[in-house]
């Protein structure tokens, strides 16, 4: 079934990951959060384990209510999903077709491109602008037959931002029946404006959020699809209804209720990222400045060679995008992991 031919971030990371890797390898290749779930999230999961024999749909309803209140949304505009992957794949399968193209930045997260390709849709890749934002005017020009415009903000892999005004421009000028999907998987690492206001204004906009990144719950699987109810129905019903794992739901709820979690983790990520950038600059290595938990590092030789050499040093770094063959994606890990990254990178580059 097309719906299950989806190439996810862990699949993309694992496809290139050295196997087996040793247990003390530095894993900065899949944009995971090394901090894992917060303590309140862990406590909530432990407390709910005994109820694992029940579907407990009311816990999911409660999570919807809390998010709706936090963001000033009507609860019908929100669906809880097992990570944002299925919502992204289903929206691509619903709004693209052999007649309706998928328009994305390049480089950007490949899940949508691969899904559209499997569905027989034209995949239109538009290079990022000089400031590494989505070039929405070029996306509009190239996508007169668009079914879905994909905006990843901040972008994976560059960690760069697209101003809200650009997303508004895209929404105001897109072909009538097309949809704009704004993937906000990494938005919590920044203080940028979300596109949720466009959903509230009943535009043809889908916003995706996930608990996999700042909240450190990638292995627990919880995300949010937010859109006008008629849009949500159109794509979510293709995946059928399923219950959520209650561990993920209570951990997500505890994470949202923790008022300082996002700002604290944003600060930790920014501090380690800046330390890494300072070290790279001091050592004359080039990189694209990022506001997220990943960035593109220039290797001045085929990026894959550097990945292979780094893997021999037990440091697994992220993949290469065809449009930037001499760059690799680096995830910001813990300070200790980034120290090991620095020693290994210096050794590899000086070899």
Q: Shortest approach of ligand PLP to residue 88 CB, angstroms?
A: 6
Least distance in Å: CB of 75 to ligand PLP?
Answer: 21
Selected from 44, 152, 320, 332, the binder of ligand PLP by CB under 6 A is 152
From the CB of 188, what's the least distance to ligand PLP, in Å? 13
Question: 4: buried, middle or exposed (CB in 10 Å: 19+, 13-18, 0-12)?
Answer: exposed
- The contact mask relative to ligand PLP for 27-56 (x = CB under 6 A, - = no) is ----x-------------------------
Number of continuous H segments (helices) and E segments (strands) in the chain: 13, 11
DSSP letter assigned to residue 204 = S
Instruction: Copy the structure tokens of residue 308.
Output: 């292979």
Nearer to ligand PLP, 9 or 291 (CB): 9
Contacting ligand PLP within 8-27 (CB under 6 A): 9
Question: Which stretch, 82-90, 142-150, 188-196, 240-248, contacts ligand PLP (CB under 6 A)?
Answer: 82-90
The residue among 109 and 321 lying less far from ligand PLP, judged by its C-beta, is 109
Nearer to ligand PLP, 83 or 107 (CB): 83
Least Å distance between CB 351 and ligand PLP? 30
DSSP codes joined into one string, 60-127: HHHHHHHHHHHHT--GGGEEEESSHHHHHHHHHHHH-BTTBEEEEEES--SHHHHHHHHTT--EEEEE
Query: How far, in Å, CA of 190 to CA of 28, rounded?
Result: 20
Beta strand ranges found along the chain (DSSP E): 26-28, 78-81, 101-106, 123-127, 146-152, 179-183, 205-210, 223-226, 294-298, 315-317, 327-331
Q: Interface mask (CB under 6 A) for ligand PLP, residues 107-136, using x and -?
A: --x---------------------------
Bond from prior residue into 241 cis (ω within 30 degrees of 0): no
183 near ligand PLP, rule: CB under 6 A: yes
List of residues 6+ apart from 177 with CB closer than 8 A: 147
In the complex, minimum distance from the CB of residue 113 to ligand PLP, in angstroms, rounded to a whole number: 12
In the set 83, 143, 303, 318, which binds ligand PLP (CB under 6 A)? Answer: 83
Residue choice 59, 218, 226, 227 for contact with ligand PLP (CB under 6 A): 218
User: Do residues 181 and 151 touch, judged by C-beta distance below 8 A?
Assistant: yes
The whole-angstrom separation of Cα 41 and Cα 43 is 5
Among the listed residues 33, 38, 84, 247, the single contact to ligand PLP using CB under 6 A: 84
Nearer to ligand PLP among residue 83 and residue 309 (C-beta): 83
Residue of closest CB approach to ligand PLP = 83
| C-alpha R_g of the chain | 20
Task: Catalog residues that contact ligand PLP under the rule CB under 6 A.
Answer: 9, 31, 83-85, 88, 109, 152, 156, 183, 185, 210, 212, 218, 223
């Amino acid at each position: 079934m097309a719906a299950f031919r989806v190439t996810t971030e862990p699949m993309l990371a694992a496809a290139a990951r050295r196997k087996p890797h040793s247990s003390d390898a530095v894993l900065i290749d899949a944009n995971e959060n090394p901090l894992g779930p917060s303590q309140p999230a862990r406590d909530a999961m432990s407390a709910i384990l005994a109820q694992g024999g029940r579907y407990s749909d009311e816990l999911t309803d409660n999570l919807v209510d809390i998010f709706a209140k936090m963001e000033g949304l009507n609860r019908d505009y929100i669906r809880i999903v097992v990570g944002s992957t299925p919502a992204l794949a289903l929206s691509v399968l619903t709004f693209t077709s052999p007649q309706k193209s998928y328009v994305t930045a390049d480089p950007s997260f490949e899940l949508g491109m691969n899904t559209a390709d499997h569905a027989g849709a034209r995949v239109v890749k538009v290079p990022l602008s000089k400031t590494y934002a989505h070039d929405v005017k070029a996306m509009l020009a190239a996508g007169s037959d668009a079914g879905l415009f994909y905006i990843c903000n901040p972008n994976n892999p560059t960690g760069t931002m697209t101003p809200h005004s650009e997303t508004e421009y895209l929404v105001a000028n897109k072909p009538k029946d097309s949809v704009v999907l704004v993937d906000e998987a990494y938005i919590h690492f920044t203080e940028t404006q979300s596109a949720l206001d466009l959903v509230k204004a009943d535009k043809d906009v889908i916003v995706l959020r996930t608990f996999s990144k700042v909240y450190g719950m990638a292995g627990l699987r919880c995300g949010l699809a937010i859109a006008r109810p008629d849009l949500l129905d159109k794509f979510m019903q293709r995946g059928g209804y399923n219950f959520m794992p209650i561990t993920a739901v209570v951990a997500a709820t505890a994470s949202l209720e923790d008022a300082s979690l996002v700002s604290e983790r944003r600060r930790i990520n920014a501090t380690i990222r800046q330390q890494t950038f300072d070290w790279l600059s001091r050592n004359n290595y080039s990189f694209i400045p990022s506001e997220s938990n990943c960035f593109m590092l220039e290797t001045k030789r085929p990026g894959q060679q550097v990945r292979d050499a780094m893997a021999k040093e037990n440091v697994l770094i992220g993949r290469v995008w065809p449009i930037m063959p001499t760059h690799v994606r680096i995830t910001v890990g813990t300070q200790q992991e980034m120290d090991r990254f620095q020693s290994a990178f210096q050794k590899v580059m000086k070899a």
